[in-house]
Amino acid sequence: MTLIRTPAVAGQFYSASAGELRATVATLLAEAQDRETPAPKALIVPHAGYVYSGPVAANAYALLQPYRDRYQRVILLGPCHRTPVHGLALSSADVYRMPMGDVPLDKIAIASLDIPGVQIFDESHKHEHSLEVHLPFLQAVLGDFTVVPIVVGDASPELVSQLLDALWGGPETLLVVSSDLSHYLKYDEARAIDAVTCQAIEEFDAGQINHDMACGATPVAGLLIAAKRRGMQVTTLDLRNSADTTGDRGFVVGYGAWMFV
């Protein structure tokens, strides 16, 4: 019997219609900045509704298109918004069901993880959007791949880096960390705080980033620790907020995208 994790935010954060969703993602990717880069090993990408953060996410995911045959597995980490978990939550599902088709989980990799604080806990996955919203982009740019979805709860960045070390793999493995930036601040205040966050990421300063600066502070910091240890290079791809993408300059949410090679 196939265990299926059904969509939680289809029809809310993105269209529940396969055709509409495919067209939306294709448009966002087509409008992304045109740049040539090495194949990314890791990305930090936002996870809001596509009308808000889709253009920022597309500037990261468009970079994968020339390398679509390279990646076979995506390690996808995002913060917990719904059901709290102590540590890191893995999923027992066989597939994540999405409007554009099922995405199989890498069950072998998940079963191989024997790290204290890392556990199967489906409740944290059931309603969580921070992982789900990335899958249509990944389906569009990669085609066939497996995913290891990980909800990051009450955990240390060091635990995240330990998990990343265990799943790092080779060129076939892409790491994606899901995070938005500042939340519900005035435009200029948001820009100032997000600039500090951006500088911390560019300097691999994991200790500088807190949860007021990024809801995914823990997985972001864990990636920075692991990437710094490997002497990786980071590039800022985009840094905007919801006022920049929608024109609504009330209280805004910040979004950024970064690439690690």
Tokens describing residue 164? 């990343």
Tokens describing residue 110? 């998940």
Neighbour tally for 126: CB within 10 Å: 15
> Per-residue confidence of the chain (261 residues) as pLDDT tens digits?
999 999 999 999 999 999 999 999 999 999 999 999 999 999 999 999 999 999 999 999 999 999 999 999 999 999 999 999 999 999 999 999 999 999 999 999 999 999 999 999 999 999 999 999 999 999 999 989 999 999 999 999 999 999 999 999 999 999 999 999 999 999 999 999 999 999 999 999 999 999 999 999 999 999 999 999 999 999 999 999 999 999 988 899 999 999 999
Q: Please name the residues in contact with 19: beta carbons below 8 A apart, sequence gap of 6 or more.
A: none
90, 110 contact by CB (below 8 A): yes
* The model's pTM: 0.97
Closest CA relative to residue 96, chosen from 50, 150, 26: 150
Tokens describing residue 133? 């919203």
Domains and CATH numbers, the chain: 4-22+42-260 (3.40.830.10)
Closest CA relative to residue 179, chosen from 20, 14, 41, 60: 60
What region does 144 belong to: left with phi over 0, alpha with psi -120 to 50, or beta?
A: beta
